Chains A and B, each alone.
Chain A
């Protein structure tokens, strides 16, 4: 059972979720720091964020679409139940995603801005703050048993299911994590004073992540006892513990200015958190009525999805490598321009 097609498809979905979180999450985090840009270097900070995001944010965003597609292809029952139950938060999420994306190309910086672009500049920051919170909230709500499904009928309180204390806590944690990821990446893409700015922001958001994680434990025990129990069981605990180790390592690396190490460990930290959650959530997609297996599509469809995935990967991996090598690798020209900015 443990290696059924549905489990593999769920694994693929988890992979997409992880990629979305560590890549697009940082783009949202960049928007958060745009929102909080302060001081005399505020515009330089904004410019650095924008340069870092520019070439990659759209392909990072595709991970979300890919995740959605896997959900409705492989888990149509869960997808339609989720879409129904989260009618309100998904619409709000969409609003955030649309405004953020549009604002990124509509706005301009500092002296170059004109008329409506000033409004869009503000929309970019605000949408980047709100969207991660909503993402976290939805993830919280599917773990806590707020959505019930029987005989294909969804029973849910459309207004409160995603507004529980657990959802709020997950939303806050998602926001802090995204901001942390962005700040860590930005320390690598900037130099001099700007780098110090982002290093400071890394330490602040890293501290917030730790505090929120600690706070989350009692909320979990109170609101999602089954998830809490599983998180602390042998199934998920080793992965979570590894996540904590990576978290501390990455904070240490920032403190000691080993920014490349910080990037790797921050990514690992987030991945471990997600995987720990997934292991604890197993075998449910939507706790407590829809398991992965019971909400899965017929094997023919799962087979198609899984059989085409390696070919997709064959296309994707070299392309992504090229993208990141060109824009995120060491580029002397870029370094020069950054100190000027």
Chain B
């Protein structure tokens, strides 16, 4: 019991930390490649300046993503040995394929970051493409492992042992497609609005140059497209949850009683003792309609399972509201931005502030979505197959390692923010930028020297 709470917290912190870098590792290479491509086509320096800056940031972010991902690979075993004993042969194949994606990503990122001078411009740009593709592939493949935990397939359970293992069926589990699309869109979206937020901040601080405006515009194009697609993909995800994990759906929506024509509850703070949701707004038939596209459908409530099998209802419900709410607010801000551009072509203070806020909301939605998925799966580590409590390590001292990880990640986060702020102050000056620097010691294009 002691270990369980600590292990869950350690896992959650590590995953929540990694996810930010994972999203950036998926999104940044795409932005980088687009900017360099535009630069090569139009021969405008501003695009290449952006590509350089984004590449430098990606170099630092990728390293943190890689080490925090390594931590996760170890932690799957360190914290959950019985889980890995059962799940290893089933989710391992996804991780093995992901391994190849990591290789391609790391190799071509090395070429991209350090190859500005050693490669011809087109060859250099081409090296960016595998980085972007394999970044997205790593996300998609790791999602297969996670969606298998939500919807395990490809084996029979006999006395707690997995038999008749079919790794291909486990890899291509029925929840994978929907969730992989949602995750990939979320990663692009969160990255795009983080970048947009940074440039909006710069513009607010008075750096109203083309560099900032173009940086903002590129990010907003990616951000707007993905933000509009996200609720559509989210609708598929919600119907999937309704089908495969009714308890999770009930927790997301604080649906305590099984009923026909269930209402949608927006906001509110679930009270699990009285089974009510004070302060929420109810839309009649809303939930039945959204979950099944039939307003009279019966929705299974939390009452269908014993209370010991409930996830933390309040956290799941509120996180779901945060995700959906953030997504909708972001769409509003994005449309406002394009409207203003279309009408006046000058960014006012308010829209810039709104875009800075979108940067924060994008990450909030990303993390909140994962809390819905992962906490909503509790008390199962593998849905309806293995309980989290039965999967935890018997080794001593998980509270210590948990405390250690928090300390470590705080230090990393603080340094990282400090580095990125230094990097983000203004457009690259001639002597700072390796592409334009002439000879001398700058030849390394070294992010470490940045």
- Where the two chains meet, the residues of A that have a C-beta atom closer than 8 Å to any C-beta of B are 47, 50-51, 54-56, 58-59, 61-62, 64-66, 68-70, 72-74, 76-77, 79-84, 87-88, 90-91, 93-95, 97-99, 101-102, 104-109, 112, 114-116, 120, 152, 158, 297-298, 300-301, 304-305, 308, 311-312, 315-316, 319-320, 322-323, 326-327, 331, 333-334, 337, 340-341
A-B contact pairs, 27 of them (CB 8 A): A58-B62, A61-B70, A62-B102, A66-B102, A70-B96, A72-B77, A73-B92, A73-B95, A76-B92, A81-B81, A84-B393, A87-B78, A87-B396, A90-B78, A98-B70, A101-B64, A102-B67, A106-B415, A108-B449, A158-B396, A298-B89, A300-B167, A304-B167, A312-B96, A315-B104, A316-B103, A337-B443
Question: Is B364 an interface position by the 8 A CB rule?
Answer: no
* Sample of 12 further A-B pairs with CB below 8 A, known A69-B99, A79-B84, A80-B84: A55-B110, A59-B103, A59-B106, A83-B81, A84-B393, A101-B67, A102-B415, A106-B415, A301-B90, A312-B97, A316-B100, A337-B444
Question: Is B240 an interface position by the 8 A CB rule?
Answer: no
Q: Which residue of A lies closest to B71 (CB)?
A: A94
Bits for B158-200, please: 1 = Cβ < 8 Å to A, else 0: 0000010111100000000000000000000000000000000
Q: How far is the CB of B396 from chain A (nearest CB, A)?
A: 6
Q: Which residue of A lies closest to B418 (CB)?
A: A116
Q: Are B82 and A80 in contact (CB under 8 A)?
A: yes
Q: Are A326 and B74 in contact (CB under 8 A)?
A: no
Given contacts A72-B92, A301-B89, A305-B92, A65 and B99 within 8 Å (CB-CB): yes
Q: Are A68 and B418 in contact (CB under 8 A)?
A: no
Q: Are A55 and B441 in contact (CB under 8 A)?
A: no
Q: How far is the CB of A102 from chain B (nearest CB, A)?
A: 6
Q: How far is the CB of B192 from chain A (nearest CB, A)?
A: 23
Q: How far is the CB of B413 from chain A (nearest CB, A)?
A: 11
Q: How far is the CA of A303 from the CA of B256 in the complex (A)?
A: 46
Q: Are B99 and A116 in contact (CB under 8 A)?
A: no
Q: Are A327 and B84 in contact (CB under 8 A)?
A: no
Given contacts A94-B74, A297-B88, A327-B114, A73 and B96 within 8 Å (CB-CB): yes
Interface size class on chain B is 35 or more
Question: Is B304 an interface position by the 8 A CB rule?
Answer: no
Q: How far is the CA of A48 from the CA of B64 in the complex (A)?
A: 23
Q: Are B111 and A58 in contact (CB under 8 A)?
A: no
Bits for B125-156, please: 1 = Cβ < 8 Å to A, else 0: 00000100000000000000000000000000
Given contacts A54-B114, A327-B110, A101 and B66 within 8 Å (CB-CB): yes
Q: Are A297 and B404 in contact (CB under 8 A)?
A: no
Q: Are B92 and A69 in contact (CB under 8 A)?
A: yes
Q: How far is the CB of A210 from chain B (nearest CB, A)?
A: 32
Q: How far is the CA of A24 from the CA of B108 in the complex (A)?
A: 17
Q: Are A341 and B441 in contact (CB under 8 A)?
A: yes
Q: Which of B115-123, B312-320, B324-332 contacts A (4 or more CB under 8 A)?
A: B115-123
Q: How far is the CB of A109 from chain B (nearest CB, A)?
A: 7
Q: Are B96 and A84 in contact (CB under 8 A)?
A: no
Q: How far is the CA of A265 from the CA of B422 in the complex (A)?
A: 44
Q: Which residue of A lies closest to B398 (CB)?
A: A87
When distances are taken between beta carbons in the complex, the residues of chain A under 8 Å from B280 are none
What is the predominant secondary structure among interface residues of chain B facing chain A?
Answer: helix
Within 8 A of A (CB), among B400-447: 401, 404, 408, 412, 415-416, 418-419, 422, 440-441, 443-444, 446-447
When distances are taken between beta carbons in the complex, the residues of chain A under 8 Å from B87 are 76
Q: Are A59 and B110 in contact (CB under 8 A)?
A: yes
Complex partner residue of B71 from A98, A311, A331, CB under 8 angstroms:
A98
Q: How far is the CA of A254 from the CA of B290 in the complex (A)?
A: 72
Taking each of A87, A108, A341, which has the highest tally of chain B beta carbons within 10 Å of its own beta carbon? Answer: A87
When distances are taken between beta carbons in the complex, the residues of chain B under 8 Å from A80 are 77, 81-82, 84-85, 88
Question: Is B258 an interface position by the 8 A CB rule?
Answer: no
Q: How far is the CB of A58 from chain B (nearest CB, A)?
A: 4
When distances are taken between beta carbons in the complex, the residues of chain A under 8 Å from B1 are none
Q: Are B84 and A83 in contact (CB under 8 A)?
A: yes
When distances are taken between beta carbons in the complex, the residues of chain A under 8 Å from B69 are 65
Given contacts A58-B63, A73-B96, A98 and B396 within 8 Å (CB-CB): no
Given contacts A81-B81, A101-B67, A59 and B107 within 8 Å (CB-CB): yes
Q: Are A333 and B446 in contact (CB under 8 A)?
A: no
When distances are taken between beta carbons in the complex, the residues of chain B under 8 Å from A95 are 404, 408
Q: Are B118 and A69 in contact (CB under 8 A)?
A: no
Taking each of A69, A90, A308, which has the highest tally of chain B beta carbons within 10 Å of its own beta carbon? Answer: A69
Question: Is B93 an interface position by the 8 A CB rule?
Answer: yes
Taking each of B68, B69, B448, which has the highest tally of chain A beta carbons within 10 Å of its own beta carbon? Answer: B448
Given contacts A95-B404, A98-B412, A104-B448, A65 and B393 within 8 Å (CB-CB): no
Q: Are B106 and A61 in contact (CB under 8 A)?
A: yes
Q: Are B84 and A158 in contact (CB under 8 A)?
A: no
Q: How far is the CA of A30 from the CA of B325 in the complex (A)?
A: 49
Q: Are A301 and B106 in contact (CB under 8 A)?
A: no
Complex partner residue of A319 from B107, B113, B114, B448, CB under 8 angstroms:
B107
Question: Is B225 an interface position by the 8 A CB rule?
Answer: no
Q: Are B106 and A322 in contact (CB under 8 A)?
A: no
Q: How far is the CA of A267 from the CA of B95 in the complex (A)?
A: 28
Q: Are B111 and A326 in contact (CB under 8 A)?
A: yes
Q: Are B77 and A61 in contact (CB under 8 A)?
A: no
Complex partner residue of B74 from A81, A83, A116, A327, CB under 8 angstroms:
A83
Given contacts A80-B84, A82-B77, A104-B63, A297 and B106 within 8 Å (CB-CB): no
Q: Are A66 and B441 in contact (CB under 8 A)?
A: no
Question: Is B305 an interface position by the 8 A CB rule?
Answer: no
Q: How far is the CB of A276 from chain B (nearest CB, A)?
A: 27
Q: How far is the CB of B78 from chain A (nearest CB, A)?
A: 5
7 cross-chain pairs, A with B, having the tightest CB-CB distances, nearest first: A73-B92, A83-B77, A76-B88, A80-B81, A87-B395, A297-B89, A301-B89
Question: Is B35 an interface position by the 8 A CB rule?
Answer: no
Complex partner residue of A84 from B81, B98, B107, B440, CB under 8 angstroms:
B81
Q: How far is the CA of A64 from the CA of B106 in the complex (A)?
A: 13
Q: How far is the CB of B113 from chain A (nearest CB, A)?
A: 7
When distances are taken between beta carbons in the complex, the residues of chain A under 8 Å from B85 are 76-77, 79-80, 152
Q: Are B167 and A65 in contact (CB under 8 A)?
A: no
